[in-house]
Amino acid sequence: MSLVSGPGKGGHVAGAVPNELRLVIDNHVSYIQSLDTRKDELEYWLTEHLRLNGVYWGLTALHLLGHPNGLPRDKTIDFVLSCQHDNGGFGAAPGHDAHMLYTVSAVQILATVDALDDLDKRAKVGKEKVGKYIANLQDLNTGSFAGDEWGEMDTRFVFGAFLALSLMNLLDTIDVSKAVAYIQACANFDGGYGVSPGAESHSGQIYTCVGALTIAGRLDLVDKDRLGGWLSERQLPNGGLNGRPEKLEDVCYSWWVVSSLAMIDRIHWIDRNKLSAFILRCQDTDKGGISDRPGDMVDVFHTHFGLAGLSLLNYPGLEPVDPA
Amino acid sequence: MSHIPTLPPDEIDFLAQVLAKDAKNYHVWSYRQWLVRHFSLWDSELPYTEILVQRDVFNNSAWNHRWFVVFGQHTDPTKHSIKKNDSYTEVPPDIIQRELDYSMAAISVAPQNQSPWLYLRGILRKQGRGTSCLRNFAEQFADLNKEDEVRSSHALDFLADAYAEEQEKMKSAQVLDLLAIRYDPIRKNYWDYRKSQLGLEQVGVS
C-alpha cells in the first residue's frame, strides 16, 4: 500500500453544482487497489515507515465502500505477520522497529479480516505476547503509555493500547483506571483534551481520549455539553472541520471530530449536509481518492478518513462504522 | 528523558525560531511545555507568550501556553485524580485579575476570536464564578437592542449563559435564537439545545 499522494486532486469534481455531488465509490475502490502497484515510484519507498498504517487505511476504506475483498486476504495477513518482532510488537514494514502505532494497526487489520487467531496459529509470536508488548509500554507512575522503548508519551498511545487490547480481549492486563486518570489530567480549561497534561486541545487528541474513555466505559467523566460545544465550533462556513480554533479545514477531522461527537451523542451539533458536501468536494471523481481540502493531492489517509466521516453521517452506500 | 541534567543553552531560542516560522506547530509546543516543566522555566515564558499573541491574537497555541504557564505550574500532572481540574496550589487574586484584564483587552482588539473568550470563561469557571459578572463587558460586542450591530457570536454565546444565570430566560432565548437564525446558523442544533436547557415553555418552532 503506497502512501504516495496523487495522481488525483481533490476538487476535481464532475458536476460541481452542489446537488450533483456524489460519492464515486468505484473510482475510490480502483484508486486504493492501484496503490500497491506503484512500487516504481520513489514515494512508495519513502513512505515505507508508514506502510502498515497505510494498509489499515486502505483496507478499512475498502470495507466502508462495500468491497471487503478488495485486497487479497492471504497476502494482507502475510504482510502483517512479516512485520512482527520477537517481542510481540509490529513495525511499519519488515525490518522496521516495533512501535505501538503499527502494533495497533496490525491488530486492527487482523480483526477486520477475521484473522486474529492467526496470531496464535501462524505468527512468530502469539496474541498473549502481543498483548504483553503493549501492556509493558504502560508507565505505571502516570498511567500513560509510551510508543516504544524510547519513551514518548501521547494520549494516542493510550487509546491505541485500549483499542488493540480490547480487540484481543486482553484489556484486563493493564491498569485501566490509572490510564483513565491520566486522560482526566489531559482535560483542558476549554473542555477539550490534549496530547499530555496542559497541552492544547486538539480534535485528534480529543478523539483518542474520548475513544479510550468509551472503551473503558467511563464517558461519565466527560463534560459532554462543553466538549460538544467546542467540537461543534470546528465547523467552518465552507462546511469543513478544523482541528483547533483558527486553523484550516481538513477532511481528516471529518472523522476525529464527528466520531468524538458521536461517542458523546452530539453528532447533530454540526451541520451534516454542509460537511458531507465538503467531503464530496474533496474527491477526485475521475481518478478516485480524497484529499485534505479541494485543490490538494489525494492520498489514502484522507480517503479513509473522509469515507469514515461520511459513514458516520449515514451517507448512503457506505457500511456503518463504530466511532470508537 | 530525565537523563538531561541541565537545559541545553540554545534550546529555547531554537524553539522560538521554529515557532517564528510555524507558530502553531503542535509538536514544538508540546516539547516546549516539557522543557518548561522539566527545567522550571515558568517566569521567562509569560513574556514570550505575550509576544506571540501580539503577533497573532488568533494563535490558539499561544493562548494555551499562557494558561499552562499561569495555571499549569500549580498543577502536578502526576498527582491527578478522577475529579475535574484538580490543582493543588491557589493562584493569587491579583494574578487572576491580571488574566481577566488581559483576555478582555484581547477580545476588544478582535471580538470574533474564540481563544480569549475560551480563556476568559476558563478563568471564571476555575473561580467558580458564572459569566454574569462580566455581562456588561460582553454587551459591548452584542446588544439585543441593536441586533444588526452584533460584533461577536462568542459574545452572544457568553451572554446567553449570563442572562440564564440571572434568570432572564427570555433574554437568553432571544440571544440563542439570534445565533441559530442569523449569526451562527451552522450550529443551529447546538443553540437550540442550549435553548431547550433553559426550561422555558415551547413558545413556537423557530
Chain A residue with CA closest to B37: the answer is A198
Find chain A residues with C-beta within 8 A of B1's C-beta. Answer: 151
Q: Which of B80, B81, B115 lies at the smallest CB-CB distance from A245? A: B115
Average pLDDT for residues B100-115, to the nearest whole number?
98
Chain A residue with CA closest to B25: the answer is A200
Query: Which residues make Cβ contacts (< 8 Å) with residue B188, sequence separation at least 6?
Result: A271, B180, B181
* Element holding A290 (H helix, E strand): strand A290-291
Average pLDDT, chain B: 90
Residue A210: pLDDT band by 50, 70, 90 thresholds? Answer: very high
Average pLDDT for residues B26-30, to the nearest whole number?
96
pLDDT of A19 strictly over 60 = no
Measured between alpha carbons, how far is B30 from A306 in angstroms, rounded to an integer? 27
Residue B77: pLDDT band by 50, 70, 90 thresholds? Answer: low
Chain B residue with CA closest to A139: the answer is B78
B127 — contact with chain A (CB < 8 Å)?
no
Average pLDDT for residues A18-24, to the nearest whole number?
77
Encode pLDDT of A285-324 as tens digits. Answer: 999 999 999 999 999 999 999 999 999 999 999 999 999 9
Position with higher pLDDT, B201 vs A260: A260
Place of cell 534550546: B11
Encode pLDDT of B112-159 as tens digits. Answer: 999 999 999 999 999 999 999 999 999 999 999 999 999 999 999 999
Residue B200: pLDDT band by 50, 70, 90 thresholds? Answer: confident
Chain A residue with CA closest to B126: the answer is A189
Find chain B residues with C-beta within 8 A of A266's C-beta. Answer: 190
Q: Which of B122, B188, B193 lies at the smallest CB-CB distance from A190? A: B122
Residue B174: pLDDT band by 50, 70, 90 thresholds? Answer: very high
Burial class from Cβ neighbours inside 10 Å (0-12, 13-18, 19+) for residue B169 reads middle
Read out DSSP for B18-65?
HHHHSTT-HHHHHHHHHHHHHHT-HHHHHHHHHHHHHH-TT-HHHHHH
Average pLDDT for residues A194-204, to the nearest whole number?
96
Q: How far is B68 from chain A (nearest CA, A)?
A: 6
Choose from B1, B28, B30 for mutation: most chain A CBs within 10 A. Answer: B30
What local confidence, expressed as pLDDT, does residue A2 receive? 73
Measured between alpha carbons, how far is A102 from A247 in angstroms, rounded to an integer? 28
Find chain B residues with C-beta within 8 A of A180's C-beta. Answer: 82
Residue A74: pLDDT band by 50, 70, 90 thresholds? Answer: very high
Average pLDDT for residues A253-265, to the nearest whole number?
97
Q: What is the interface size between A and B, counted as CB pairs within 8 Å?
A: 108
What local confidence, expressed as pLDDT, does residue B89 receive? 60
Q: What is the pTM (predicted TM-score) of this model?
A: 0.93
B130 — contact with chain A (CB < 8 Å)?
no
Encode pLDDT of A125-157 as tens digits. Answer: 899 999 999 999 999 999 999 999 999 999 999
Does the distance separating the beta carbons of A181 and B81 come in below 8 Å?
Answer: yes
Q: Which of A221, A232, A271 lies at the smallest CB-CB distance from B82? A: A221
The identity of residue B43, as a single letter, is D
What local confidence, expressed as pLDDT, does residue B62 receive? 98
Q: Which of A181, A187, A190 lies at the smallest CB-CB distance from B118? A: A190
Cβ–Cβ contacts within 10 Å for residue A68, how many?
15
Residue A44: pLDDT band by 50, 70, 90 thresholds? Answer: confident
Residue B87: pLDDT band by 50, 70, 90 thresholds? Answer: very low
